[in-house]
Amino acid sequence: MSHEKILLGVLQANGLLPAESSDGMYLELLTGGFWNRVYRLRSKQLSTLDWVVKQFADVPANPMFPILPTAEYAALQFLKGHQCAPTPLAFIADSPVGSLLVYEYVKGSYWNGDLEATATLLGRVHSIPIDPFAANAFRQLPSDAPNLLTHAEVMLQRHESALSDSVRELSRRLSFETVHPIRNGVLVHTDCGPGNIVSSPDGLRLIDWQCPGIGDGLQDVLTFVSPAMQVLYGYPVLTLAQEQRFLRAYFSVLDEHPTDAMETSERLRITRSSHHYRFAAYCAMRAQDTGGSDEKTSRLYSVALQAEIQMLHRLLS
């Protein structure tokens, strides 16, 4: 039996599809994901059935972007009705093919390059108050400079090498200044790159919520402007003018709450270089993780690392 037939059988066994023949159903494997297998499910008989079926990979834990199936389903539930993410349909925690998440397919195209709309989308997500459901559903993320640098060191220690040491050298110039604790943590996507943004007829949608957490919304903002993130998804690095446009648009959303905007601006000043340093540590780790098994991926992460280091030199100068 083919893998696709097994998937359809699991959906039928869990009451998501009619028990009769699945001949009218067809699965299309989508591209773009780094880890998980993602299918688009449609029906020849039911034109309204247009779903995504996400099959989570069983891979070693990633210290930067872990695969958290239950948390992804919780994120889609939390965001339902806010017009910023796909609409969830079901979550199957255990099946013969692993954990499965089913949600409505977002019709649209790859990210359209609209920086202001992207910043506004993030601002809207970060403006949603955390309720008791979210407080219990998501992990807590590091947000101040000391904790970000500690996390970076965990990744650098995976490979004691000249490459790791070249990243560590930059840490001497970073600020270890702490900031006041975040008064109100927000839902953070954490993997907020252009490849996870869909330009739909109803506006931008943020997809692939596989590793969310509660923390500082700046993590999403700085992940998006990260040169490494742009390189990894095949986009050109943002220019300084584009960065500034993006940040202005994000802060224009926060300006509706002046205290939040002021505190976020101060955290940006203090922690920005630490966020980028952590991303550089991640790229160094991944370049070495894949060095002996996937030369193409290793080269990609090496290019991303150099782009992130250039950003750090600019910030630290």
Quick: pLDDT tens for 80-111.
999 999 999 999 999 999 999 999 999 999 99
In the block, tokens 């449609």 appear at 42
Percentage of the chain beyond pLDDT 90 is 80
Res 131: pLDDT: 96
Q: What domains sit in the chain, N to C, each tagged with a CATH number? A: 3-105 (3.30.200.20), 110-316 (3.90.1200.10)
Percentage of the chain beyond pLDDT 70 is 97
Condensed to tens digits (0 to 9), the pLDDT of residues 185-210 reads 999 999 999 999 999 999 999 999 99
Within 13 A of 53's CA, how many CA atoms are on the CB side?
26
**Mean per-residue pLDDT of the chain:** 93
Confidence of residue 59 (pLDDT cuts 50, 70, 90): confident
Indicate if the pLDDT at residue 32 is higher than 70: no
Confidence of residue 251 (pLDDT cuts 50, 70, 90): very high
Res 7: pLDDT: 92
Condensed to tens digits (0 to 9), the pLDDT of residues 133-187 reads 999 999 999 999 999 999 999 999 999 999 999 999 999 998 777 776 677 899 9
Indicate if the pLDDT at residue 34 is higher than 80: no
Res 19: pLDDT: 73
Indicate if the pLDDT at residue 22 is higher than 70: no
Measuring CA to CA, how many Å separate 261 from each of 4, 73, 98, 130?
A: 48, 30, 42, 18
Condensed to tens digits (0 to 9), the pLDDT of residues 284-302 reads 999 999 999 999 999 999 9
Indicate if the pLDDT at residue 281 is higher than 90: yes
